[in-house]
Amino acid sequence: MRNTKQPKTYRVKSFGCQMNVYDGERMGELLTEQGITPAPEGEDADLVVLNTCHIREKAAEKVYSDIGRLTKGKTQKKAPMIAVAGCVAQAEGEEIMARSPAVSMVVGPQAYHRLPEMIDSAVTGKRVTDTDMPADAKFAALPKRRKSAPSAFLTIQEGCDKFCTYCVVPYTRGAEISRPYVALVDEAKMLVDGGAREITLLGQNVSAWSGEDDKGRAIGMAGLIRAIAAIPDVARIRYMTSHPADMDEDLISAHGEVSKLMPFLHLPVQSGNDRILKAMNRSHSAEGYLKLLERFRAARPDLALSGDFIVGFPGETDAEFEDTLKIVDAVGYAQAFSFKYSPRPGTPAATMEDQIPMEIMDERLQRLQASLRRDQQAFNDASIGKTCEVLVERKGKLDGQWLGKSPWLQSVHFTADVAVGDVVTAELIQAGQNSLGARILDSATT
Ligand code: 5AD
Ligand code: SF4
């Protein structure tokens, strides 16, 4: 049954997007500040936070099976206190409470700053649900950032007003909000003070960020990127995920002007067919997307591109799917994510006619992924012989081996006398599907 002992240790298990990884880190920091420490690897945790994702597939079922494993002694010896957080908590919190007596807390993505009070209730045996969505309240209530990995996430924007017809995000994360400029520049400084060299600005619709700078002038994403680039110890900036409709001229120019902004753009297209794009409520055409990429490439010719794709959206014909293969051929993605359409309860597409059978989706996904793999390998092959900077992120599996990232977000492995957080100059000498081998030319550039 439910564990109501005051927890001394915790484990946060995050699923899904980088935003959840960020939220998971912040929940961890909050719990640590309360004197609840991370459970050592391989040991039971007194409190387990399941930080869930609702974007695709049978998300809720996964949560129930995780809860089952935790309570039946399969994941750990003793059943922990359980908190369900994230987007499944937001969407299905009440059902979770009703179906799973072992769950003590259900906490939505905008309410997790209240975890400490919720734990206080849970130890008295009272179960608590908090799925309020106050705009921006949580960030002010979270503790300061202290320690960071060399590559850190910084959520600058949350929620989405785009309402793509397949997507649950506008319902689980709510309306778009932009965090204030000053808070973001401060958090970026704290992250570099704590060891970060690269900052990835996160948001469900990140380029819709808007705010006022410290002089009260209205600025957009590009202005924020320039401000973060002005922090001396920031070596690299990235951002994700963007919608084609919110990419303005200033952001395009920033790719040409701000050397710390890495030559990489994650810009989902979802489909290469205009009828499907319209049914998805994407507000851009295939042609419009390609034209936009041309402008980015004119600003930054070595830009690597990444995208998201959905196959088998309701009503998608074979010919319409072929258009997705065509746009893939036209772009030449350096990497990409591709998914079978998954009906999300409450979204318009879930009740559209002509849901596509699983076998057809499987076949389309295989064909799409074959094209994407081919292009990723081609992109990696074309990198051989290039000299670039690599951010050292962690030790590799082999003795003396290190892993890092190229400016184009490729994983790079090499053997050299370096340390985590160094930025070193490397020659890329060998290309695989998912990573490259490098020779370090100069490790004195940190
Ligand atoms: N089915 C399949 N893929 C989806 N995505 C979002 N919603 C769905 C869905 N219902 C994909 C989109 C989005 C990425 C984060 O997840 O490609 O860009
Ligand atoms: Fe979902 Fe992205 Fe569309 Fe927003 S822009 S509704 S997050 S797919």
Note the pLDDT tens digit of each residue in 332-391: 999 999 999 999 989 999 999 999 999 999 999 999 999 999 999 999 999 999 999 999
* Distance of CA 282 from the midpoint of ligand 1 (Å): 12
Asked which of 35-44, 131-140, 195-204, 239-248 is least confident by mean pLDDT, the reply is 131-140
- Which is the closest atom of ligand 1 to the Cα of 308? 17
Which numbered ligand comes closest to the C-alpha of 243?
Answer: 2
- Which is the closest atom of ligand 2 to the Cα of 167? 1
- Per residue in 2-33, pLDDT (tens digit) is 888 899 999 999 998 899 999 999 999 999 99
In this predicted structure, what is the pLDDT of residue 446? 47
- Per residue in 128-167, pLDDT (tens digit) is 999 988 766 788 888 888 889 999 999 999 999 999 999 9
Q: What is the mean pLDDT of the chain?
A: 94
Asked which of 42-56, 313-327, 401-415 is least confident by mean pLDDT, the reply is 42-56
* Distance of CA 439 from the midpoint of ligand 1 (Å): 38
In the predicted model, is pLDDT for residue 304 greater than 70?
yes
- Per residue in 397-443, pLDDT (tens digit) is 998 999 999 999 999 999 999 999 999 999 999 999 999 999 999 76
In this predicted structure, what is the pLDDT of residue 135? 66
What residue's CA is closest to ligand 1, atom 12?
A: 308
Which numbered ligand comes closest to the C-alpha of 157?
Answer: 2
Residue 310 near ligand 1, beta carbon < 6 Å: yes
- Per residue in 162-196, pLDDT (tens digit) is 999 999 999 988 999 999 999 999 999 999 999 99
SS3 for the chain, per residue?
A: CCCCCCCCEEEEEECCCHHHHHHHHHHHHHHHHCCCEECCCCCCCCEEEEEECCCCCCHHHHHHHHHHHHHCCCCCCCCCEEEEEHHHHHHHHHHHHHHCCCEEEEECCCCHHHHHHHHHHHHCCCCEEECCCCCCHHHHHCCCCCCCCCEEEEECEECCCCCCCCCCHHHHCCCCEECCHHHHHHHHHHHHHCCCCEEEEECCCHHHCEEECCCCCEEEHHHHHHHHHCCCCCCEEEEECCCHHHCCHHHHHHHHHCCCECCEEECCCECCCHHHHHHCCCCCCHHHHHHHHHHHHHHCCCCEEEEEEEECCCCCCHHHHHHHHHHHHHHCCCEEEEEECCCCCCCHHHHCCCCCCHHHHHHHHHHHHHHHHHHHHHHHHHHCCCEEEEEEEEECCCCCEEEEECCCCCEEEEECCCCCCCEEEEEEEEECCCEEEEEEEECCCC
Residue 56 near ligand 1, beta carbon < 6 Å: yes
Question: Whole-prediction pTM value?
Answer: 0.93
Residue 162 near ligand 2, beta carbon < 6 Å: yes
- Per residue in 203-216, pLDDT (tens digit) is 999 999 999 999 99
**What value does the mean pLDDT take over residues 43-65?**
89
In this predicted structure, what is the pLDDT of residue 59? 76
Residue 342 near ligand 1, beta carbon < 6 Å: yes
What residue's CA is closest to ligand 2, atom 5?
A: 162
* Distance of CA 59 from the midpoint of ligand 1 (Å): 13
